Structure 1
Amino acid sequence: MFELILAADWSAAASPTGPRPKKDAIWVCADLHGAQETRYFPTRAGALGWIDGWLAKGHRTLLGFDFAFGYPPGFARALTGQDDALAVWDRLAAHLTDGPDNANDRYEVAQAINRRFPGTGPFWGRPAHLDLPDLPTTDRAREGHGLPERRAIETVVPGAKPVWQLAYAGAVGSQSLVGLAALAGLRARWGTELQVWPQQTGWQVPTARIALVEIYPSLWPPAQAPIRDQGQVIATAAALRAAEAAWFTGPAAQPDADRIAREEGWILGTRLAAEAQALPPGVDWTPMAEALETLRKAHPCRVGKEEVPLGAAAGRFAAQDISARRASPPRANAAVDGWGFAHATLAPGPIPVAEGRAAAATTRAAAVPPGHAIRILTGAALPPGVDTVALQEEAELRDGVLHLRALPKPGANARAAGEDVQAGAPILPAGRRLTPGDLALAASSGHGTLPVRAPLRVGVLSTGDELIEPGAPGDGIHDANRPMLLAMLAGWGLEPVDLGHVPDDPGVLRDALDAAPVEAVLTSGGASAGDEDHLSRLLSSEGRVHHWRIAIKPGRPLMLGDWQGKALFGLPGNPVAAFTCAALFARPALLQMAGAAWSEPEPLSVPAAFAKRKKAGRTEILRARLRDGRAEVFASEGSGRTSGLSWAEGFVILPEPAATISEGDPVPYLSFTALGIG
């Protein structure tokens, strides 16, 4: 249907993102009859200029941007008096300033909009240094503004984010504010040659030469590229190249589809909710990214600091930034065994030899007279009058004088003071898990002790009448989860505490949780909704639940919450699901509680050695390993097949959108090594 496809990954950065391509910046892919060109842009003005250049070529064009083209119902009328998203675009263009250097006043504009609504909100999130009292810093500070949290499309595509959040991790609202102002200008420049779908066209294929649409790159696995954002626009452009007329149809399940088209907008390529959902209807399934963000906010560092000797610091987390107490090396010294001299003072011919020798960095030899050489050993401090060292293999002592086979360059084989580390220079960041190499660096920089975090104690508790101890006789199920989880915790540098096993008895479970001498607890089993799933009911009634059912496979049910001040991770009972949820959810939260920085390792994009069709609606985690550079997956996806845990070396992580994967297609692969599981 279209000759030219333009797919833009937008950014709301307040300054140019720099000359070198990077993530979280602007990427645009132009696909002309299947031939692709991808560009990175440090500024929005630069990207729009490039896009305008393509539009001027006269091709039938599908132009997509990856931010919301509208807002939840009621916003447009309250702001403009019309149920029309395009009126919001024009108002933003009239009030928001966005300079050629990316400087913009989006936070001030958002505050001004908030003032038009009752209560506090709807927009939230801003840098702490901005004095904008009507733009709250947290979502919990909002109240009474009267608007829904999500558009209709954001209930169909679980990964799509609400537009109200302007700052912090996962924010997309700022992109829409500056983006819609830019699109208003685009419409003004191209006039009737451009139509916005579905705001101007309804649920029909646009007839104008340029079709402007909202896209969501996460609907498709990213193409293999140096930077994920680049891979996403490449994959999106390729997917749009195959776009069908059916992609432009409306959400038939929505009774007010016409209003949605005009006021809220829709993401091109999203099928109807009834077709897209892989999860049971009527249940609030939490996207994986949302659950992780909740954990990041809910579980800051919970342990104190202590000073320990270097020998006891390996594997601990640095409690503060650590700087060098002295230079390394502290003095200029010899890098080899040989002969030292002042290069500029040498005369042609044999070199007289000074008395003594320089043999240790902690002692000082006498000054070496000009034109003389002194015997010097590796690591010895350079005596006064020495700036160069000749290798002993290149020198010969005959008749009391030194003969050089070749004269080295000035300064050769001599290390300068502070060549490795300068005194006062930062050497180890706060939150780093200290390695043997870090201890060597700290010792050479003058440290005998290091400030570290106290160990985070994490309990592991198994539940269920059916469980028996590993190796015990009987017909029960051997408890595979507890030894597995305890080993995972130890590998992450935490202090595992074995809390044993409790039966299906809510009172016994309550007592075990109350008595646990830990800061966090991993349980397995009992988090579903069955008659004997007491953890879910107990935590709901007496603790605090952050999320219960997460949209992942394997892994539901997974309960995330708190019990009497202890972080609680209610893992599924099946070993594969417990392993997966511990690695992907518990690990980053527990490490942050232990004093480390929040960490979600970035998967590698590798070719698939398998084929699979995946429904939309949840993230799927496949046990995998790399062979010949391709990702193989375990033969069974059953979460009770523990043999797959031993077989696997990592995960293939398939995001929430529907996908058809063929052999050779790029898939995201995350190794167990990256997850601290070895």
Structure 2
Amino acid sequence: MFDLIIAADWSAAARPTGPQPRKDAIWVCADLKGTQTVEYFPTRTAALDWIDGWLEQGHRTLLGFDFAFGYPAGFATALTGQDAALPLWDWLAERIEDGPDNANNRYVAAQEINRLFPGIGPFWGRPAHLDLPDLPPTDRARDGHGLPERRAVETVVPGAKPLWQLAYAGAVGSQSLVGLAALSRLRARWGAEMQVWPQETGWTLPLARIALVEIYPSLWPPALAPIKDQGQVIATAQALRDATPDWFTAPGLQPDADRIAREEGWILSVQPAASCFALPPGIHWTTVAEALATLRATFPCRQAKQQVPVGAASGRILATPVTARRANPPAANAAVDGWGFAHASLRAGVIPVVPGRAAAATTTADPVAPGHAIRIFTGAALPPGVDTVALQEDARVDDWGLHLRAIPKAGANTRPAGEDVQAGDAILPAGRVLRPSDVALAIAAGHGTLPVRARLRVGVLSTGDEIIAPGATPPGIHDVNRPMLLSMLSRWGVDAVDLGHVPDDPDALRAALDAAPVDAILTSGGASAGDEDHLSRLLAAEGQVHHWRIAIKPGRPLALGDWKGRALFGLPGNPVAAFTCAALFARPTLLQMSGADWAEPVPLRLPAGFAKRKKDGRREVLRARLRHGAVEVFASEGSGRVSGLSWAEGFVMLPDEACEITPGDLVDYIPFADLGLA
């Protein structure tokens, strides 16, 4: 259908990204009849000039950019009076300033847009140094702006993020603001030679020479390349080369298709589904990937920095990068016990021995005269006049002096200064959870204290009239979850706070949540939709629900939200589901809030020692362990079978899609050790 494919991975950077190719910058791949050219650009202007050069060649072209071509329903109408995306592009082009050096006013422009809406929002997220009172720094500060959170296509694509977030990890909103302004100017340049799909064409194949489309590179595994972004545009261009006409036409079968095409737009290649999941119809179920992406974007680290003695730093999270204060070793030293001398000064025969010895790295010995030797021990600094050490096993001393069986090579059995680390070397990155070995390195590099993040305080609250204390006499259900979750938190390096137990009473629950002296809260029970499930209703009415129906088994119901400035994980009441959801959702979020890197474990691909058939629609997590080179799973998938948690040593992760596993098939296995739970 197209001779030339151009796939652009965009950036909203406010300054040039530098001469060296790097990630999180602009990458463009041009594929002309199967021959690819990939380029990195430090500025948007340079990228657009390069793209223009290709367009001027006159080929039938499919040109894709990886930012949203429209906004959720109502946004365009509020700004332009028209429920159409293209007038909005022009409106933004008049207000977005974007210089050739990438300098732009996107945050100021977003604040001005926010002022046109009631309440606070819709845009949020900005650098801390910007004084923009009408552009809230966090999602939690938004209220009453009246717009949907997502476009229709973003409810279909796993991991697609809302356009309202302008800053912090995973933000995509800034790209669209500067990108749409740029595309408005691109359309003006090419006029009738360019059509925007589907805003101008509807759900038909564009007929103009240049088809301008929205793409989403994360839909395809990146090609092998030194930088992931580079690999993504290569893979995207390859996928677009194989596009079929139904990529352009099939989305027109969805409800409200005409308005979506005109106002919101669509991602090329995404096919709408009658139901995203094989779960109750009429309800949107959030994928695991989308839920994790929301958590990652919503809960950055805000913990203060503090200095602690290096001996107390193990298990803490490094707040800033650490460089070596001194070389290790600080001076050239002996690697063995033996005899030291200057290699070039030796002569045949007996070697005179000078008085004294070099014993420790902190002692100094007198210079050793040429042709002489000195007794030296492992770790001792080489005295002046010594550059080589002979093993004591290869030497003999008598009244005449030192006799060597053989003269070693110059420099033998010595370690140069800074062999391990040079002064000024980067030794530990920010966000690292410090291990005893890291502490050893910091001490060797001259540090007595280390900059770490203040510990995150995380509370655990049990709910329900049926819950009784461990060891208490029935009737009732013993509180398995609260002690279990507190133990899990302690392994993750946070301060675990026992918030106790509250009955099925909304006022008591509200009071417990309000009074909790913590940064985040884990609850168990009460997150469903029953008469006594007060958590979900309270969270919706007085807090903020990010996701509620998440397509995972076990794990229903699971509420992910925010209670008045604190992350809240409304875990299921069944212990297996609570354990699973805490490990998969709470752990990476709490570690990130604590200052560590986002920590989703990479599964091992191992042969299955079991058989299972799974329906389409949700991620399934099985308790498992590795035996005799194969992964076996627990006999029951019931969420109340706590014995399966003790039996298991990890999880098998089955994909969202339908699958059938037979013994020997490779499956994804995550050991509990990779979840901090071994």
TM-score between both structures, scaled by the size of structure 1: 0.76
In the other structure, the counterpart of 1:649 is 650
Query: Following TM superposition, by how much is the alpha carbon of 1:434 offset from its aligned partner in structure 2, in angstroms?
Result: 3.0
Query: Following TM superposition, by how much is the alpha carbon of 1:253 offset from its aligned partner in structure 2, in angstroms?
Result: 5.6
Query: Following TM superposition, by how much is the alpha carbon of 1:170 offset from its aligned partner in structure 2, in angstroms?
Result: 2.5
Q: Write the mapping of 1:84-123 to structure 2, written as runs, cut at 5 A.
A: 84-89=84-89, 103-107=102-106, 110=109, 114=113, 117=116, 123=123
In the other structure, the counterpart of 1:300 is 302
Query: Following TM superposition, by how much is the alpha carbon of 1:176 offset from its aligned partner in structure 2, in angstroms?
Result: 2.0
Q: Does the 8 A contact of 1:167 with 1:174 survive in 2?
A: yes
In the other structure, the counterpart of 1:288 is 291
Alignment root-mean-square deviation, CA: 5.2
In the other structure, the counterpart of 1:366 is 366
In the other structure, the counterpart of 2:40 is 41
Q: Write the mapping of 1:333-412 to structure 2, written as runs, cut at 5 A.
A: 333-343=333-343, 345-346=345-346, 351-392=351-392, 399-403=400-404, 405-409=406-410, 411-412=411-412
1:248 paired with 2:249, answer: yes
Q: Does the 8 A contact of 1:459 with 1:498 survive in 2?
A: yes
Q: Which moved more, 1:348-357 or 1:322-331?
A: 322-331
- CA deviation vs aligned residue, 1:583-629 (integer Å, no higher than 9, x gap): 23322343356x433523364696998986644xx777676889999
1:556 paired with 2:556, answer: yes
Q: Write the mapping of 1:585-604 to structure 2, written as runs, cut at 5 A.
A: 585-592=585-592, 595-601=594-600, 603=602
Number of matched pairs: 665
Query: 2: distance between equivalents of 1:499 and 1:198?
Result: 52
Query: Following TM superposition, by how much is the alpha carbon of 1:197 offset from its aligned partner in structure 2, in angstroms?
Result: 1.0
Query: Following TM superposition, by how much is the alpha carbon of 1:214 offset from its aligned partner in structure 2, in angstroms?
Result: 1.4
In the other structure, the counterpart of 1:10 is 10
Q: Which moved more, 1:5-14 or 1:52-61?
A: 52-61
Cα 1:539–1:182, aligned 2, differ >3 Å: closer, same or farther? closer
In the other structure, the counterpart of 2:160 is 160
Cα 1:426–1:106, aligned 2, differ >3 Å: closer, same or farther? same
1:205 paired with 2:241, answer: no
Q: Write the mapping of 1:59-74 to structure 2, written as runs, cut at 5 A.
A: 61-72=61-72
Cα 1:515–1:201, aligned 2, differ >3 Å: closer, same or farther? closer
Q: Does the 8 A contact of 1:224 with 1:606 survive in 2?
A: no
Query: 1: distance between equivalents of 2:145 and 2:518?
Result: 41
1:169 paired with 2:169, answer: yes
Query: Following TM superposition, by how much is the alpha carbon of 1:68 offset from its aligned partner in structure 2, in angstroms?
Result: 1.1
In the other structure, the counterpart of 1:435 is 435
Cα 1:492–1:78, aligned 2, differ >3 Å: closer, same or farther? closer
What amino acid sits opposite 1:649 in the alignment?
G
Query: 2: distance between equivalents of 1:666 and 1:247?
Result: 35
Q: Does the 8 A contact of 2:299 with 2:567 survive in 1?
A: no
Query: 1: distance between equivalents of 2:86 and 2:564?
Result: 49
Q: Which moved more, 1:560-569 or 1:326-335?
A: 560-569
What amino acid sits opposite 2:291 in the alignment?
M
In the other structure, the counterpart of 1:488 is 488
What amino acid sits opposite 2:341 in the alignment?
F
Q: Secondary structure at the match of 1:362?
A: coil
What amino acid sits opposite 1:600 in the alignment?
A
Query: Following TM superposition, by how much is the alpha carbon of 1:578 offset from its aligned partner in structure 2, in angstroms?
Result: 1.4
Cα 1:11–1:401, aligned 2, differ >3 Å: closer, same or farther? same
Query: 2: distance between equivalents of 1:661 and 1:7?
Result: 35
Q: Does the 8 A contact of 1:223 with 1:666 survive in 2?
A: no
Q: Does the 8 A contact of 1:93 with 1:180 survive in 2?
A: yes
Query: Following TM superposition, by how much is the alpha carbon of 1:23 offset from its aligned partner in structure 2, in angstroms?
Result: 4.0
Q: Write the mapping of 1:260-659 to structure 2, written as runs, cut at 5 A.
A: 260-272=260-272, 274-276=274-276, 281=282, 287-289=290-292, 291-293=294-296, 296-297=299-300, 300-301=302-303, 307=308, 310=311, 313-317=313-317, 328-343=328-343, 345-346=345-346, 351-392=351-392, 399-403=400-404, 405-409=406-410, 411-417=411-417, 419-421=419-421, 432-445=432-445, 458-464=458-464, 481-482=481-482, 484-496=484-496, 521-537=521-537, 544-547=543-546, 549-554=548-553, 555-560=555-560, 568-592=568-592, 595-601=594-600, 603=602, 614-615=616-617, 639=639, 646-647=647-648, 649-650=650-651, 652=653
Q: Does the 8 A contact of 1:288 with 1:619 survive in 2?
A: no
- CA deviation vs aligned residue, 1:149-197 (integer Å, no higher than 9, x gap): 5445445557433334332222212222343344446546655454221
Cα 1:447–1:58, aligned 2, differ >3 Å: closer, same or farther? closer
Q: Which moved more, 1:200-209 or 1:605-614?
A: 605-614
Query: Following TM superposition, by how much is the alpha carbon of 1:378 offset from its aligned partner in structure 2, in angstroms?
Result: 0.8
Q: Which moved more, 1:184-193 or 1:579-588?
A: 184-193
Query: Following TM superposition, by how much is the alpha carbon of 1:265 offset from its aligned partner in structure 2, in angstroms?
Result: 1.9
Q: Does the 8 A contact of 2:626 with 2:649 survive in 1?
A: no
Cα 1:571–1:175, aligned 2, differ >3 Å: closer, same or farther? same
What amino acid sits opposite 1:361 in the alignment?
A
Q: Does the 8 A contact of 1:634 with 1:648 survive in 2?
A: no
User: Where do 5+ consecutive residues of structure 2 fail to align?
Assistant: none
Q: Which moved more, 1:399-408 or 1:497-506?
A: 497-506
Q: Secondary structure at the match of 2:584?
A: helix
Cα 1:231–1:611, aligned 2, differ >3 Å: closer, same or farther? farther
Q: Does the 8 A contact of 1:110 with 1:135 survive in 2?
A: no
What amino acid sits opposite 2:302 in the alignment?
P
What amino acid sits opposite 2:102 in the alignment?
A
Query: 2: distance between equivalents of 1:108 and 1:268?
Result: 28
- CA deviation vs aligned residue, 1:281-331 (integer Å, no higher than 9, x gap): 46796941464147515x7338x9685682x55334457776767654344
Q: Which moved more, 1:384-393 or 1:91-100?
A: 91-100
Q: Which moved more, 1:375-384 or 1:224-233?
A: 224-233
Q: Does the 8 A contact of 1:308 with 1:452 survive in 2?
A: no
Query: 2: distance between equivalents of 1:79 and 1:335?
Result: 74
Cα 1:462–1:126, aligned 2, differ >3 Å: closer, same or farther? closer
Query: Following TM superposition, by how much is the alpha carbon of 1:581 offset from its aligned partner in structure 2, in angstroms?
Result: 1.9
What amino acid sits opposite 2:204 in the alignment?
Q
TM-score between both structures, scaled by the size of structure 2: 0.76
Query: Following TM superposition, by how much is the alpha carbon of 1:553 offset from its aligned partner in structure 2, in angstroms?
Result: 1.4
Query: Following TM superposition, by how much is the alpha carbon of 1:358 offset from its aligned partner in structure 2, in angstroms?
Result: 1.5
Cα 1:672–1:220, aligned 2, differ >3 Å: closer, same or farther? farther
- CA deviation vs aligned residue, 1:527-546 (integer Å, no higher than 9, x gap): 212133344456667x7455
What amino acid sits opposite 2:409 in the alignment?
P
Q: Secondary structure at the match of 1:11?
A: coil
Q: Secondary structure at the match of 1:531?
A: coil
Query: Following TM superposition, by how much is the alpha carbon of 1:376 offset from its aligned partner in structure 2, in angstroms?
Result: 1.0
Cα 1:215–1:416, aligned 2, differ >3 Å: closer, same or farther? same
What amino acid sits opposite 1:353 in the alignment?
V
Query: 1: distance between equivalents of 2:338 and 2:350?
Result: 16
Query: Following TM superposition, by how much is the alpha carbon of 1:262 offset from its aligned partner in structure 2, in angstroms?
Result: 3.1
Q: Does the 8 A contact of 1:338 with 1:377 survive in 2?
A: yes
Query: Following TM superposition, by how much is the alpha carbon of 1:432 offset from its aligned partner in structure 2, in angstroms?
Result: 4.1
Cα 1:20–1:357, aligned 2, differ >3 Å: closer, same or farther? same
Q: Secondary structure at the match of 2:352?
A: strand
What amino acid sits opposite 1:170 in the alignment?
G
1:180 paired with 2:180, answer: yes
Q: Which moved more, 1:170-179 or 1:211-220?
A: 211-220
Query: Following TM superposition, by how much is the alpha carbon of 1:340 offset from its aligned partner in structure 2, in angstroms?
Result: 1.7
Query: 2: distance between equivalents of 1:58 and 1:659?
Result: 45
Query: Following TM superposition, by how much is the alpha carbon of 1:4 offset from its aligned partner in structure 2, in angstroms?
Result: 5.8
User: Where do 5+ consecutive residues of structure 1 fail to align?
Assistant: none
Q: Secondary structure at the match of 1:177?
A: helix
Cα 1:220–1:639, aligned 2, differ >3 Å: closer, same or farther? farther
Q: Which moved more, 1:102-111 or 1:623-632?
A: 623-632
